[in-house]
Amino acid sequence: MSSAPSVTAALIVIGDEILSGRTKDVNIGATADFCTDLGIELKEVRVVSDETDDIVAAINAVRARYTYVFTTGGIGPTHDDITADAVAKAFGVALPINAQARAMLEARWRETGTEVNEARLRMARIPEGADLIVNSVSAAPGFRIGNVHVMAGVPIIMRAMLEAIAPTLQGGKKVMSVTVKAAVGEGTIGGPLGALQALYPDVKMGSYPQMGKHRVMTELVLRSADPVRLEEAAGKVRAMVAEAHRAANIELSEDEAY
């Protein structure tokens, strides 16, 4: 079994536009992929409105539970971009204009002929004690304070920030997966699958109904950081599915089977 430590994370997605449906979030999937690649287990995602106290409560709730916290959204130039204010409040620190952040922004604004004004300078406000997260797309930085990483909500900028912080993060146990396809419904295999899960508590087993072309299909996905236990459990699941197929007189075609 791998001796690598378990590294966990939570993501807080901030913004009324997400909750209203006006903006369709894609940052959850990007963060999940990012964490999986690094061996970080994304354990929780919260979507929070643009309310300072709600953001503070969410940050304080998860930063004590997980190795890392990532936030997206609410660090722009407008009045409702209050994530920096909320993070500073959560950590009990001031929120001054950061000289390094201001210099980075003003350098970009000189290149683009952009006016320096009070609204744009909001993006240079960084909680005291925080380190900047470089933004290679638009220059406005994110920041890291404690185990909390505060990033933009714009997907292309958020992904660039994830890449920027990747070298600073500790990876954990790599999680592998095996998928077994069953040509029966969840109700048929729910009992046996539950029994196998009890036998292999270290292997997560998920059941996902699929809309097959000609019949009911269920994908069983097994995940574990231990390749030996994963393959052992997968063998048991394959045998269980084969028995269910025999009982129902089902044969899978080549394009249906894994």
Distance between CA atoms of residues 131 and 134, nearest Å: 10
What kind and span of H or E run contains 46?
Answer: strand 40-48
Q: What is the pLDDT of residue 1?
A: 43
**Average pLDDT score over residue span 178-204:** 93
Q: What is the mean pLDDT of the chain?
A: 92
For 240, the 3-state DSSP assignment is helix
HEC letters along 158-170: HHHHHHHHHHHCC
Structure tokens that stand for 45 in this block: 């995602």
DSSP for residue 200: -
Q: What is the pLDDT of residue 35?
A: 94
Cβ neighbours for 103, distance < 8 A, ≥ 6 positions apart = none
Structure tokens that stand for 200 in this block: 């292999």
Could you say which architecture CATH assigns to the domain 176-247? 2-Layer Sandwich (3.30)
For the entire predicted model, the pTM comes to 0.80
Tell me where in the chain the CATH 3.40.980.10 domain(s) lie: 7-168
Distance between CA atoms of residues 138 and 112, nearest Å: 11
Q: Is the pLDDT of residue 67 over 70?
A: yes
How would you classify the pairing of strands 131-133 and 40-48?
A: unpaired
Q: Is the pLDDT of residue 2 over 50?
A: no
Is the separation of the CB atoms in 176 and 230 below 8 Å?
yes
CATH fit for domain 7-168, picks 3.40.980.10, 3.40.50.300, 3.90.1010.10, 3.20.20.70: 3.40.980.10
Q: What is the pLDDT of residue 206?
A: 92
* 91-120 residue pLDDT tens: 999 999 999 999 999 999 998 899 999 999
**Average pLDDT score over residue span 169-195:** 89
Most confident of 31-40, 54-63, 243-252: 54-63
Is the separation of the CB atoms in 210 and 217 below 8 Å?
yes
**Average pLDDT score over residue span 31-56:** 95
CB atoms under 10 Å from CB of 131, counted, come to 14
Q: Is the pLDDT of residue 172 over 90?
A: no
* 148-162 residue pLDDT tens: 999 999 999 999 999
For 152, the 3-state DSSP assignment is coil
Tell me where in the chain the CATH 3.30.70.600 domain(s) lie: 176-247
For 23, the 3-state DSSP assignment is coil
